[in-house]
Each structure stands twice: as C-alpha cells, then as structure tokens.
Structure 1
Amino acid sequence: MHAISDSDLLASFVNVSVRERKAIPIPQDVDWDKRDFLGWRDPKLPQVGYVVIPADDDLIGIQLRETAQKALRRPQCAWCEDVTLPNEVVFFSAKRAGAAGRNHNTIGTLICAGFQCNANVRKPPPLAYNGFDLEAARVQRIEQLRETVTAFARSVTAAR
C-alpha cells in the first residue's frame, strides 16, 4: 500500500457524516510497505474502528463498530483466516454507504480486534507437509487478504 495524505485518508470515508469525518483520529507512523489495508481503533471510542482499503485506483474508508458477542469458541478472522492467531477476533459492523446507510442498512464480519491481519498473513504458515512451499503459501495469503478486504469494501459501497 502506498502512503496516503491525511486529507485523502479522510476524504475516502464513504459511510460517515461530515461531522463524523472531522472527528476521525489520523494514525501516525504507519509502515506502508507492509500493509494491504490500513486499520486502526479510535482511542477515545474503543468500540469504533476504521479501515482504508485500496480498491483499483480508489481508496474506500469505512467506519466500523464493534458489536458485543458471546462466542462459545474462539472465532476465526474472516479477513486473514489465521488459525494460529495471537490476538482476539471481534464482530464489526459497518453502515452501508449512501442512502442505504442512512436507512440503517449494515454489513458485518469477524476481524482481528486490532486489525493485525496485515502482519498475520506475512508470517510463514505452519508446515503442512514435507516439501510444502512456505513462501508461496505466504504470498497466496497476502493476495487472498487483498481480495477479501476489497470485496468487503465493495459490499459497503454497493448500495450507494
């Protein structure tokens, strides 16, 4: 992912009001080379998260809200699909963009609580069998993450 200016970052948000957009905290010291999307939590509102996803030549910013869940088992992140997660996974919902969002239509998914998916897919996966190509599997996981987050971003904006 390439570096994004603060103004472009804020302008990318599709499911927030002008007032909400002005209140979005901008993350600092981002390592852009190791990112397929940018995700962060709001330090003042711990239930709120933000993701900015590159989709083709566009940026799609999405505000997410953590929804309380009671799981009997530990859920798997839908984005990185890591089976050896060192972190928690929570259910996030996002208002759809445009009129659909104003009519309270939402979409939800399970995501790593601190948006660690970028780091999770870059770890070498567990060895499946002798001769298993770890690097090819890692590259495939990175590509799958890009496709998954882009599909999520498109589903938020589809109802515009």
Structure 2
Amino acid sequence: MQALAESEVRSVFANAHDAELEQVSLPVGFFVTEWAHLDAFGWRDPRIPSRGYLVTEIDGEPVGIVLRAADRTGSHHRAAICSLCHTQQPGDQVLLFSARRAGAAGERGDSVGTYICSDLACQETVRLGRPPAPSEVVPTVREIERIEGVAQRTRAFVADVVTG
C-alpha cells in the first residue's frame, strides 16, 4: 500500500460527512506505519471508541470507509471468526461493524455490516505466525494465501460500501 500523509488519509473516506472528517483521530503509531507491508490500514478512533476506519487501495487509489462498532451484547465466552482475516478469536475480540453506504444510498440510511476483529488489526493478525527459522525467510504458501485473502476480502467490503 502506498504511504499516506495525515491529510491524504482524511480525504479518502467515501462515506463520511465533513463533520465526521473533522473528528477523525489517527492512531498513536500512525507516523511510524510501515505502509509497504500493508494491504489495508484499519484502526479504532482513540477519542470515539465506537468508531473505526478502514483504508485500502482499489485500482491503485486509496479508498477509506468510516465504521461503527455495534454495542456488545450477550455472551462473549464463545469463539468468533473475523470475516476479513478468517481468524478465530474469543467472542469479545470480534465485533459487528457497520458502514453507511456512500452517496445517495447512505443518505437514505442504507448500510452494510460484517464481523471484524475488534481492533481492526486484521493485516497484522494474518502476518503473525511462528518466528521464521534462519533458513526460513520466505513466507509459506499458506501464509501468502492468508495475506492475499484478507486483502481481497477487505477490498471487496470497502468496494461494497462505496459502490453498493
């Protein structure tokens, strides 16, 4: 993913109103983000905990969406699977996030939702694994497939929000 400056990040949200864009808080580590190793950049707003952001590239251009986390209800002792990274997590670490659709559909109140890791760190999650042995510097085929899978599902979700 191409590196983005703070002003560029604020300008890519397809489903945000001006007031929402003014409220965007970047994560603490934003300025040390290793963009070249990411297919998407997701984070929870440090000032507005119910809000999250997801930025990816579609056709070589950065596109972002504003997400809203559903209120936690019910039992969280069960496991859940993130729809983006397909990682099984404890139930309290996967949340339903919804995004207002961009354009006229969003103005009518249309939205789309999916279950995502509560910290929106799917990109890092699929890259975590066993530490490579000295002779094992190349990711395995399975690891590459997981990384490509989360990238494709993230782009598809963002595209669905943007274009419906």
* TM-score normalized by the length of structure 2: 0.84
Preserved CA contact (<8 Å) 1:39 1:52: yes
Tell me, yes or no, if structure 1 residue 123 matches structure 2 residue 125: no
| Stretches of structure 1 lacking an aligned partner (at least 5 in a row) | 126-133
Deviates further, 18-27 or 150-159: 18-27
3-state SS of 1:152 partner: helix
Identity of aligned residues (%): 33
4+ residue runs of structure 1 moved beyond 3 angstroms?
none
Structure 2 matches for 1:36-115, cutoff 5 A?
36-68=39-71, 69-71=73-75, 73-83=78-88, 88-115=93-120
Q: Distance in 2 between matches of 1:71 and 1:120?
A: 24
| Stretches of structure 2 lacking an aligned partner (at least 5 in a row) | 131-138
Structure 2 matches for 1:136-155, cutoff 5 A?
136-155=141-160
Q: Distance in 1 between matches of 2:147 and 2:54?
A: 17
Which residue matches 1:31? 34
Which residue matches 1:128? none
The one-letter code of the counterpart of 1:7 is S
Q: Distance in 2 between matches of 1:152 and 1:71?
A: 27
RMSD: 2.1
When the two structures are aligned, how many residues end up with a matched partner? 151
Preserved CA contact (<8 Å) 2:58 2:155: yes
Q: Distance in 2 between matches of 1:33 and 1:71?
A: 38
Q: Distance in 1 between matches of 2:83 and 2:52?
A: 16
* TM-score normalized by the length of structure 1: 0.85
